[in-house]
Amino acid sequence: MDTVPVSGRIDKSISEKLNLLARATARSRSFLINEAIKTYVDEQSWQVEAINEGIKQADQGRFASQAKIRKTFAKYGVNVDED
């Protein structure tokens, strides 16, 4: 895997915890930082992709029916009044 240097600042308390974790897991700080950033980026990317897909469907006029909305809300105990 190709790597590139990245620079940034973190809170001292996080740095201290990172040091402890690195020692406890016998992993480098760089490895742990890479894993943490990868996890965050993957989670955020998934959300952005889902939002963009929803916008695309809305632009195409593809919306949930009133019946499906009522059923979904009812599943969570929310009563949807008709207008």
Q: Are 32 and 25 in contact (CB under 8 A)?
A: yes
pLDDT of 82 reads 61
Q: Distance (Å, rounded) from C-alpha 77 to C-alpha 33?
A: 41
* Of the candidates 48, 18, 23, 50, the residue with the CA atom closest to the CA atom of residue 35: 18
Q: Which residues, given as ranges, of the chain have pLDDT below 70?
A: 82-83
Instruction: Read off the amino acid at residue 82.
Output: E
Q: Are 29 and 22 in contact (CB under 8 A)?
A: yes
Q: Which residues contact 57 (CB under 8 A, 6 or more apart)?
A: 63
Specify the pTM: 0.62
